[in-house]
Amino acid sequence: MLGFNVLAPLPWYVSGPLLGLFVPALLLVGNKMFGISSNLRHICAAVLPTRAAYFQYNWRASGAWNLSFSAGIFIGGTIATWLLRDASAIAITPAARASLEALGVRDFQGLIPIELFSWSMLTTVRGVIMIIGGGLLIGFGTAYAGGCTSGHAISGLADLQLPSLVAVLGFFAGGLVGTWVVLPWLLGV
Amino acid sequence: MSRLADDTLNTLRLSDTVQASARQARATDAPVHHARDGVRALVLYGLLGTLFGIVLTKAEVVSWFRIQEMFRFQSVHMYGIIATAVLTAALSLQIIKRFGLRAVNGDAIALPAKVMGRGTRYWLGGAIFGLGWALVGACPGPLLALIGGGASVMIVTLLSAVVGTWAYGVLKPLLLH
């Protein structure tokens, strides 16, 4: 009757504009620039012992709002996963499913392949490279590039900043190498 | 001179200092310094983040499967999301600029300009990030949403990302930017 199922995934033409609206929302609420990866730096500045100049700033003043926003993302992930999703298989295209099956992926339930991302995978070389190595690359790369998908691809491109375009092209270059070269090698095909 | 005029002068000087420090922040890549937010403001940012996390998850942007589908050019889903998100944000920024909209606290709204320099940091740092993005299938925001959704092993990925950022901070003086 409603014609709308709260458990179904949001189509891209609804979720994309909604995500874009966080840029003006944060600016209007407090003149904050939308970008998630600064939080990695704030966490280092807050808890890791370091004398590096990069971490010498007042993380509470610069970053408390963003850490709070991030805590919200965690809560939002909890709410959406447990209350607003059903357990049906991910609705990727048949072509994508076939490609991933060719790489040996069998389980398409949920949002991530449980065969690849589980605690027991940490005892395998493949798991260590994906779960720990991938995290290291993300953290190092985003700090080096001065932003991640939110800061460069959304905020930066929307503000027509050329450095952000270069960074986004870099994201895709790295992602294509990861997808077409590193993953097939890792998954042993 | 009256006290009021003195106060005004001080305020002007203060705002000069704030502007100068903002300019310096841009030049040195230091985080933009804000006045400290109160508890009410922090709760509001937390609520905004919650909405963001819900949309990220409902859009399946947090899914390794969706990221693979994107890097394999097998669906419009992720490209549609990125394109419409950028378009919506860009239109909103134009509206903010055209109408000179201000933040709730009265601040003029200005996004800090990124400095290109040699550009090495953008393409090289970007490519390193992209490689990690393809392996993990999630960038920093989605990682948090996944952990919230119960993918507990992603805590290890998030901690690794913190270590990666720390390594950058330590190695920064040695790297080409």
The string of DSSP codes covering B20-70 is HHHHHHHHHTPPPP-PPP-HHHHHHHHHHHHHHHHHHHHTTTT-HHHHHHH
Q: Work out the percent of chain B whose per-residue pLDDT is above 70.
A: 80
With a cut of 50, say whether residue B13 has pLDDT above it.
no
* Angle at the Cα of B104 from the Cα atoms of B114 and A147, rounded to 5 degrees: 25
Q: Choose the closest CB to A178 out of B103, B121, B131.
A: B131
Chain A residues in contact with B168 by the CB 8 A cut-off are: 54, 139-140, 143-144
What are the pLDDT digits (tens) for A18-44?
A: 999 999 999 999 999 999 999 999 999
Determine the residue among A125, A140, A182, A187 to mutate to test chain B binding: the one whose Cβ has the most chain B Cβ atoms within 10 Å.
A140
With a cut of 70, say whether residue B32 has pLDDT above it.
no
Considering the entire predicted model, what is its pTM? 0.89
Task: List helix spans (H) across chain B.
Answer: 3-28, 39-58, 64-71, 77-98, 120-136, 140-148, 154-171
What are the pLDDT digits (tens) for B36-86?
A: 788 999 999 999 999 999 999 999 999 999 999 999 999 999 999 999 999
Q: How far apart are the first and last CA of chain A?
A: 47
With a cut of 50, say whether residue B12 has pLDDT above it.
no
Q: Choose the closest CB to B161 out of A10, A139, A160.
A: A139
Give Cβ neighbours of residue B95 (< 8 Å, ≥ 6 apart).
A24, B101
The residue ranges of chain A whose pLDDT is under 70 are: 1-4, 189
Residues 138-157 of A with CB under 8 A from B: 138-150, 152-157
User: What ipTM, to 2 d.p.?
Assistant: 0.95
- Closest-CA residue of A relative to B42 is A65
